[in-house]
Structure 1
Amino acid sequence: MPVNKKTPVPNGTSNGTLNGIPKQNTKPNDTHTSSATKPRQTYFSGRFRALFALTFLGALSAAVRLSSHASGTYALCSQDGNHIYTVDANNTKVQCVVVRDSHILGTGSLSDVKGRWGTSPFLETVAQILSHSKFRVQYIPSGSIIVPGISDSHGHILEYGASQELPLEGTPTIPDTVTRVRQFILDNPDVLNDKTKWIRGGGWDHTIWPSSSWPSAAELDADPLIRGRPIVLQSKDCHALWVSAEAMKLSAPFPDAVEGGVIVRDESGQPTGVFLDNAQDLIKQPELTEDDLRRRFHLAVNHAHARGLTSIHDAGLDPMSLAFFRKQASNGVLPIRIYGMRYFNENQPYWGNTTQIIIGKDNDRLTARSVKIFADGALRTGGAALYEPYHDNPETPGFMRLDPDILFDVIPKFLRDGWQVNVHAIGDRANGLVLDAFEASLKGANVTALRPRLEHAQMMTRADMRRLGRLGVIASVQPTHAISDMWYAEDRLGPERVKLLYAFRSIIDSGAKITLGSDFPVESMNPLSAFYAAVTRVSPDGKSPHGPEGWFPEERLSRIEALRGMTIDPAYASFTEDILGSIEIGKRADLTILSQDVMSVPCNTILDTKVVATIIDGKVVYGEL
Structure 2
Amino acid sequence: MTEILLRTVRRVGTSGAPADVRIVDGRVTAIAPTGTLDPTSPDADGVETAGAWLGPGLVDHHTHFDQWALVRRRVDVTGCDSAEATADLLARAARADVADRLLVGHGYRDGTWPRPARRELLDQAAPGLPVVVISADLHAVWCNALALAHFGVVLGRPLETGEDGVVREQDAFDVTGALSQVPDAVLDAAVADAAEAAAARGVTGVVDLEMRFGLDRWRRRIHAGTDAIRVASGVYPDDLDDVIARGLRTGDVVAGTRGLLTMGPFKVITDGSLGTRTAAMTDDSGVLAYPFEDLVAVVRRAVAAGLVPAIHAIGDRANTNALDVFEAVGTRGTIEHAQLLVDSDVERFARLGVAASVQPEHAMDDRDIADRHWAGHTDRAFAFASLSRAGARVLLGSDAPVAPLDPWVSMAAAVGRDRDGREPWHPEERLSALTAWTGSTVGGRTSVAVGDVADLVLVESDPLAADAPSSALRSMRVLATAVAGRFTHREL
TM-score, structure 2 as length reference: 0.90
- Displacement after TM superposition at 1:135 (Å): 6.3
- 2:273 paired with 1:273: no
Match of 2:403 among 518, 523, 529: 523
- Unaligned runs of at least 5 residues, structure 1: 1-67, 119-123, 267-271, 390-396, 545-549
- Per the alignment, residue 98 of structure 1 pairs with 22
The residue type equivalent to 1:440 in the other structure is: A
- Per the alignment, residue 560 of structure 1 pairs with 434
Distance 1:85-1:282 versus aligned 2 partners, 3 A rule: closer
Q: CA RMSD in A?
A: 2.8
CA distance in 1, matches of 2:226, 2:403: 28
Partner SS state of residue 525, structure 1: coil
Partner SS state of residue 488, structure 1: helix
- Displacement after TM superposition at 1:466 (Å): 1.2
Partner SS state of residue 458, structure 2: strand
- 2:268 paired with 1:344: no
- Displacement after TM superposition at 1:207 (Å): 3.0
Q: 1:30-109 to 2 correspondence within 5 Å? A: 71-78=2-9, 83-85=10-12, 95-96=18-19, 97-109=21-33
- 2:129 paired with 1:229: yes
- 2:257 paired with 1:357: no
Contact 2:83 2:117 (8 Å CA) reproduced: yes
- 2:273 paired with 1:378: yes
- Displacement after TM superposition at 1:187 (Å): 4.3
Contact 1:215 1:242 (8 Å CA) reproduced: yes
- Per the alignment, residue 422 of structure 1 pairs with 310
- 2:414 paired with 1:534: yes
CA distance in 1, matches of 2:154, 2:229: 40
- Per the alignment, residue 473 of structure 2 pairs with 606
Contact 2:11 2:447 (8 Å CA) reproduced: no
Contact 2:6 2:49 (8 Å CA) reproduced: no
Q: Per-residue CA shift, 1:379-433, capped at 9, x if unaligned?
A: 11101000115xxxxxxx1111222222111111111111011010001111111
CA distance in 2, matches of 1:463, 1:146: 39
Match of 1:487 among 364, 368, 373: 368
- 2:149 paired with 1:249: yes
CA distance in 2, matches of 1:340, 1:92: 37
CA distance in 2, matches of 1:607, 1:252: 42
TM-score, structure 1 as length reference: 0.71
Contact 2:204 2:482 (8 Å CA) reproduced: yes
- Displacement after TM superposition at 1:219 (Å): 0.6
CA distance in 2, matches of 1:296, 1:254: 23
Match of 1:291 among 173, 185, 193: 185
- 2:286 paired with 1:387: no
- Per the alignment, residue 440 of structure 1 pairs with 328
- Displacement after TM superposition at 1:355 (Å): 3.4
The residue type equivalent to 1:214 in the other structure is: P
Partner SS state of residue 482, structure 2: strand
- Per the alignment, residue 71 of structure 2 pairs with 163
Larger radius of gyration: 1
- Per the alignment, residue 624 of structure 1 pairs with 491
CA distance in 1, matches of 2:17, 2:129: 58
The residue type equivalent to 2:11 in the other structure is: I
Q: Per-residue CA shift, 1:543-600, capped at 9, x if unaligned?
A: 13xxxxx2222211111111111114xx36xxxx8xxx85222222111122222322
> Percent identity at matched positions?
26
Distance 1:134-1:426 versus aligned 2 partners, 3 A rule: closer
Contact 1:278 1:401 (8 Å CA) reproduced: no
Partner SS state of residue 258, structure 2: coil
- Displacement after TM superposition at 1:441 (Å): 0.8
Distance 1:372-1:509 versus aligned 2 partners, 3 A rule: same
Match of 1:324 among 203, 211, 217: 217
Distance 1:177-1:134 versus aligned 2 partners, 3 A rule: same
- Per the alignment, residue 473 of structure 1 pairs with 354
Distance 1:104-1:282 versus aligned 2 partners, 3 A rule: closer
Contact 2:139 2:169 (8 Å CA) reproduced: yes
The residue type equivalent to 1:335 in the other structure is: A
CA distance in 1, matches of 2:183, 2:153: 26
Partner SS state of residue 245, structure 2: coil
The residue type equivalent to 2:430 in the other structure is: R
Q: 1:150-189 to 2 correspondence within 5 Å? A: 150-166=58-74, 167-188=76-97
Contact 2:199 2:481 (8 Å CA) reproduced: yes
Distance 1:135-1:595 versus aligned 2 partners, 3 A rule: closer
CA distance in 1, matches of 2:205, 2:134: 25
- Displacement after TM superposition at 1:298 (Å): 1.8
Distance 1:178-1:285 versus aligned 2 partners, 3 A rule: same
The count of residues paired between Structure 1 and Structure 2 equals 481
The residue type equivalent to 1:430 in the other structure is: A
CA distance in 2, matches of 1:494, 1:620: 47
CA distance in 2, matches of 1:298, 1:180: 28
Contact 2:359 2:410 (8 Å CA) reproduced: yes
CA distance in 2, matches of 1:263, 1:411: 29
Pick 1 or 2: higher relative contact order, CA cutoff 8 A, min separation 6. 2
Greater Cα shift, 501-510 or 582-591: 582-591
The residue type equivalent to 1:75 in the other structure is: L
Contact 2:240 2:302 (8 Å CA) reproduced: no
Contact 2:8 2:50 (8 Å CA) reproduced: no
Q: Per-residue CA shift, 1:19-55, capped at 9, x if unaligned?
A: xxxxxxxxxxxxxxxxxxxxxxxxxxxxxxxxxxxxx
CA distance in 1, matches of 2:368, 2:356: 23
The residue type equivalent to 2:135 in the other structure is: S
CA distance in 2, matches of 1:342, 1:470: 26
